Amino acid sequence: DAGVTQSPTHLIKTRGQQVTLRCSPKSGHDTVSWYQQALGQGPQFIFQYYEEEERQRGNFPDRFSGHQFPNYSSELNVNALLLGDSALYLCASNRLGEERTGELFFGEGSRLTVL
Amino acid sequence: LAKTTQPISMDSYEGQEVNITCSHNNIATNDYITWYQQFPSQGPRFIIQGYKTKVTNEVASLFIPADRKSSTLSLPRVSLSDTAVYYCLVGDFQGSGTYKYIFGTGTRLKVLA
């Protein structure tokens, strides 16, 4: 049973560029959340997708956008990259209705470095 | 907004029991308490979750007092491989059945030989 998979694992971009990160949820899961984790900090909630719609959003600018596909996979897009966007981007999945228990399954993350 | 407070760091020796306490004074009636473990450059991994009293699984125990305003993660007989950051989470109900989980800064546990 495949867990949450993310790609790419590492990437380097320059300021002003755009990046797309991808996530496939754990089998049987339909809800995907994205988190940003700066070095030495806890993961910060970006947004959550269900049924191809953004259900809730954290305190991130509109440069951060996402998409969920019919197969429940998801993309995170970041435009006009800033140095401060350098972080580990984590994808987490769960099954709708089981959110209350808080058991999220995380991928290994995509490490983005902005130069 | 459900928020948690944990010690920033702890040191322990191999073979000892480690207890990490988390404060969540404004926990809501329906909220569960969940703990995660994270190693460097990896995603957090679910450890244990509970609602009240005591929960035990193969890796940890979780103690929750009656008022549920705090919880304690207990790791029995830690080893060097338990060196990690441990996060305590409480769900923040957003309405329409949706929850948002807010991570704090976590507790950095260092296990010494």
B50-97 pLDDT per residue, tens: 999 999 999 999 999 999 999 999 999 999 999 999 999 887 666 665
What is the rounded CA–CA span in Å between residue A22 and residue B16?
41
Candidates A56, A89, A95, A105: best to mutate against B (most CBs of B within 10 A) is A56
User: Do A100 and B103 make contact, defined as CB atoms within 8 angstroms?
Assistant: no
* pLDDT for the residue numbered B12: 97
What is the rounded CA–CA span in Å between residue B75 and residue B63?
11
Q: Does A48 touch chain B (CB under 8 A)?
A: yes
pLDDT band at A96 (very low <50, low <70, confident <90, very high): confident
Please name the residue of chain A whose CA is at the shortest distance from the CA of residue B107.
A42
* pLDDT for the residue numbered B39: 95
* pLDDT for the residue numbered B27: 87
Count the helix, strand and coil residues of chain A and give each as a percent rounded to the nearest 5: 5, 50, 45
The mean pLDDT value for B89-107 works out to 75
User: Do A104 and B98 make contact, defined as CB atoms within 8 angstroms?
Assistant: no
The mean pLDDT value for B15-19 works out to 97
User: Do A102 and B103 make contact, defined as CB atoms within 8 angstroms?
Assistant: no
Question: Is the omega angle on the peptide bond into residue A43 within 30 degrees of 0, that is, cis?
Answer: no
Residue with tokens 């830690």: B78
Cβ atoms < 10 Å from Cβ of A57 = 15
Q: What is the mean pLDDT of chain B?
A: 90
* pLDDT for the residue numbered B41: 85
Q: Which residues of B touch A46 (CB under 8 A)?
A: none
* pLDDT for the residue numbered B61: 97
Please name the residue of chain B whose CA is at the shortest distance from the CA of residue A48.
B100
* pLDDT for the residue numbered B96: 60
pLDDT in tens, A52-83: 999 889 999 999 999 999 999 999 999 999 99
Burial of B71 (0-12, 13-18, 19+ CB in 10 A): buried
pLDDT band at A100 (very low <50, low <70, confident <90, very high): low
Q: Does A63 touch chain B (CB under 8 A)?
A: no
pLDDT band at A99 (very low <50, low <70, confident <90, very high): low
Q: Does A77 touch chain B (CB under 8 A)?
A: no
Closest CA to B80 of B39, B113, B33: B113
Output A34 or B96, whichever has higher pLDDT. A34
* pLDDT for the residue numbered B73: 97
Helix (H, G, I), strand (E, B) or coil at A101: helix
pLDDT over 90 at B14, yes or no = yes
